[in-house]
Structure 1
Amino acid sequence: MYNIWSIKIAIIMIICNLLSVMIGRYAIAVRGLGPSIPLLGLEGLGLPELLATTSMGHVIGAGVILGLKSMQYL
């Protein structure tokens, strides 16, 4: 009855995380306090910023997935 995991859910979560990282890249005022992660040329985006943005991406993704399930789209 319940669809625990599917490719659709994974894609939604990945998109929400990527959007959150992109928004956080420009929205975080004080960056680079922790160790830097040379990921795709994103200098200044350190480990604390990456953890913060992906955590927010998971919160947004969970909300989107639950919302889409409640509207019977997933």
Structure 2
Amino acid sequence: MGITVPFCDTPGQSVVIGLLAGAIGGAVGLLVGLQPLGVAVVAGMLALVGELAGHLLRGDQQFRDAVQQVRGGWE
């Protein structure tokens, strides 16, 4: 069986986390004087961590299936 990539079942969560990550990344960037690329990197890292944390806290089935698929290898 090949790898499948379904659409996200939690688009609202992604929107909220993306907006918060952008706002927090922008604020951090302004406070420490980062260039735009640095702000984008901070916001991206915050979004990635936020998405993973959100899925872990919710324990949704799609995330569990994705983790199992990765642990099972690329068949």
In 2, are the aligned partners of 1:20 and 1:53 still within 8 Å (CA)? Answer: yes
CA RMSD of aligned residues (A): 2.6
Match of 2:59 in 1: 69
1:52 matched to 2:42: yes
Give unpaired runs (5+ residues) of structure 1: 34-45
Give the paired residue count: 57
Q: Which amino acid aligns with 1:31?
A: G
TM-score for both structures, normalised by structure 1: 0.55
**Which protein is richer in helix relative to its size?**
2
**Secondary structure of the structure 1 residue equivalent to 2:59:** helix
Post-superposition offset of 1:68 = 0.6
Give unpaired runs (5+ residues) of structure 2: 64-75
Identity level (%): 16
Match of 1:43 in 2: none
Larger radius of gyration: 2
Match of 2:33 in 1: 31
Structure 1 CA distance for aligned equivalents of residues 25 and 37 of structure 2: 13
